[in-house]
Chain A
Amino acid sequence: MKFKKYISVIVLIFVTSFTFSQVKFEAKVSKKKLGINERLRVDFEMNQDGDNFNPPNFSGFAVIGGPNQSVSNSWINGVRSYKKTYSYFLSPKKRGNFTIDQATIVVDGETYKTTPIKIAVTAAIDKPKDPNDPDYIASETIHLVAEVSKSNPYLNEAITVVYKLYVSPNTGVTNWNEIDSPRYNDFWSQTIDTKGQKVENGTYDGEDYRFLVLRKAVLYPQKTGKLNIEPLSLDIAVQVPTNRRDIFGGRMMTTVHKTVSAGNKSINVKALPEAGKPIDFTGAVGDFSFNVTTSKTALNASESLQAKVEVRGKGNLKLFNLPKIALPSSLEVYEPEHAENVRTNLSGMQGSISDTYTVVPQYKGKYPIPKISFSYFDLKTKTYKRLSSNEIVIDVLEGPLNNAIETGEETSTGNAKQRVVLNNDQFAFIKTKTSLASVKQNHFFKTPIFWSALLLPFLVIPLAIVIRKKKATRDADVFGNRMRKADKLAKKYLSNAKKSLGKKEAFYIALEKALHNYLKAKLQIETSDLSKDKIQVLLTEKGVDADAVKDFNSILESCELARYTPITIVTMQEDYNKAAQTISLIDKQAR
């Protein structure tokens, strides 16, 4: 019995090894990510018939179709292939991530399981896509992409746009033609030839694709701000695989016409910085070298030479003007010949541009070609740079002399004396001295100071008139004048006495001293011979009234008396007044 069993097993192994080597049981889904309003198809495939197929419970999904069973048997070159499929159509119940669990089957007593599959259910999509619709397949598998090298370039900085057509490996493109070519408004543009491009392999969105470069363009923005790059639109004939198969089992392809366009790209063009912009800047952006050369530096008059102004390098070579060369007016200069030797590739314009001037000197002499400068914006350092040429001196060896022609003398007398003539029509040289003043000015006109200086002097006139009138009236008042004079004299001599008014001793000493002082001043006498009699005689000689003399003496007496008698302040005041009056009276009468 046991022997029999072994034999049968061996036979079985022999038989099965002829047909297949390994049992395969796997689950396949039509997509791993779907909208909630889409359907999902799950196939469980096995390459050997089994029993007890046990589907998973499809949690999160509703089974809307299936299980559909299909069996296919084929012999190719004597090799049999067998396939049995259980298909289910599922509809998701809600959004989220779900797992399709393992299905089991028993083949020859062995239990096989599929691997679980993760499915993501997203929000409803606009139009549930029929995965078999050729248009849908074409739109999923053909992509036209415009790649812009830089989205915020400077004005006149080169950018490139590359249009690539991505085609998925299981579709094919038979033909394409442009419907709408982009016009690069506000750009200087040059398309680069892409004929003979080979199909390359690349990835798009992480998947393997083939791509073809359709078009390359170099653009130089000519305007600042937001600029639009118009899309490129193509009509493409796409071959899409269908579900039908030809009699050989190959998939039938259908051709679909599809319009694809690369999206509108907008780039933001920055203006060149204003700070430090040189005055001779003409818009050159890039990296340049600059030189001025002449074909010869020594020649004879009426021979010609070429002066070449050349800018070489990388940048917007065709888009700016070369600086003009300023030659002395006695050289005959012809209009320059402009030459461009510029190649354009993906990195921009490269090469050189030049202006060639033909110069014919007329007279003997040395002629300097002045330095000229050329400024450009360097993109690497983001600054302006200025290049200056070297000064070149052209030496004209033989020829007529310039001044000889002007003065009408013969050319042979090269060292003839020349008259110095002042040329009035000359461009004046700069001034070498300056005194700077603030830009803000203060005006004098219409200020309060101006008005007061204008009007106040008028007030001086009435003031002067009033003062004069007052003076006249004072001069006319005789009595008042006398009073004022007496006061003045009293003030002069009696000031000490007045100060000590009230103190008896001091007052009378001061008063006596004052009277003596007055007499000394008036009569020119010494104090020593100052007796009462003498005073009387002298005063009478001077023509003073007898009463006044008497008064004077009486005051002197009272001064002496006062030292020994008690005297009230009232008497002192009286004596003071009397002294003042007497002095003024004597003063008036004395001659």
Chain B
Amino acid sequence: MTVADLVSLARRPGFLLFVALFAMLLPVAAPALADEGGEAEETSDGWLEGWNFSGSESFEYRYNDELFNAGEEHQYVNLLDVFLNKGRWTIGLTLNGANFFPREPYREFNDFVQVDRAFIDYAGDNVYGVAGDFFTSFERGMTLSVLRDPLIYRDDTIRGARASMTFKRFELDVLGGFVDDKVTDEQDWIGGIRAAVIMPRDIRLGVTGVYSDDKTDDWIEGEHILGSVFLDAPGIFDQLDFYGEYAVKDSELEPTGEKGHGLYLAATWYRGPFTLLAEYKDYERFNYEHNNPPNADRLDEFFAPDDTRGFRVKPSYFLNKTNSDLYVSYSRFENILSDSIVEHYFGGVEQYDLFGRVYMHVWAGRRSEVDGKDENKASLASTIDIGEDDSIVVDALIKYAEDPFFCNTELESSIGYSISGRWIITALYQYAEVPVWNKNDFYGGEITANISESLQAKLFVGSLKGGQVCSGGQCRYEDPFEGVKLNLVYRF
């Protein structure tokens, strides 16, 4: 067999799947092999002496049909994470590779492998340092937030260096590098500093400053300078937490400049099983690529942090007698530029151990805007224990949206049966009155199997309209999809 034959073989779709299955199953058999084969290899030997080695290998095969693609497609996606840890030092590497079949000339890459993340860090008692790729944020994300957040389609890291130090009652954070946006492939230079004084009762008073040069950005070119002052005061009289931050933004956008500001205040009052959360935000011309200020509302209600002002209150009470967590929330925001007002209220009950075997979380809410746009939502998540280790899991979310010109009903639902530690079988149904990719109904079936403690396999057949999917005892974000998906995750 020649090298050309090997390359040809490796390019066949079935070969990759075979290699993946082999790679995943080999470690499962390894302990048994080790027992029969004599003494196990010690990692303390040789050049790895003293280093702790761990990682994760995730392989996904997708067969996408014509619905979401120009044609039928086989995709092989591989993510390998490797970590070496010794004492306070950690070295990490993430490799991301993919193949697409059939090979299409219009596609930028039919095959690729890239280093998604590489870093070395040191975590001492009063010093932390990292070089390479790292996630970061300052305080509540008002001036800097470079994190993976599937809710807002962000998957960024900073490639550079960061040092954090604590000297008695003083904290200092300094970082620099460029933001590596995995979604848009943009790379913006960024530098930041955070300094805080720790006062009695763990109260922190500090400032942050960020500089970013977006010259590699195609649609907002220019420099941004942001600064903020914050006060973090937890546990006041053991009953009240307070956080406040005021930030200003000065952008040198072409052809004109832009100045903006952001104010965020949060207070939580605790009294036994009762909590009251109150938040206020005032963001004007505060939109910027590398911040993510609190939206002060439900996590799934994303509002652009620009030109909006308003408050939210959320009282909650936990009834110990019945194991019931009750909550309501009311928020009201106005758009500073358009004068439109958004009101959002919702309430729910999270019920534990109903009749000793039922968990249930039910909530419903309404979001309305003065110009006639309304959205109503209701959700039910329940688990009914049948025996000691098997249960039925039900999940449903229904949304009804309407405005003078548009109505849409959406449903996301699933029902599953699980046997703890072994496997879970789930049926999914999703509906969208307004078609998503020319489709209204989405059906799917999924089997999750724990082949060993370290290896989990998941097979999905059907279609998904995208968004957060909770099945198999896990929650994750999925893109619109139709076809077959086989996912293998091995942790070593």
Are A and B genuine complex partners?
no
A-contacting residues of B (Cβ < 8 Å)? none
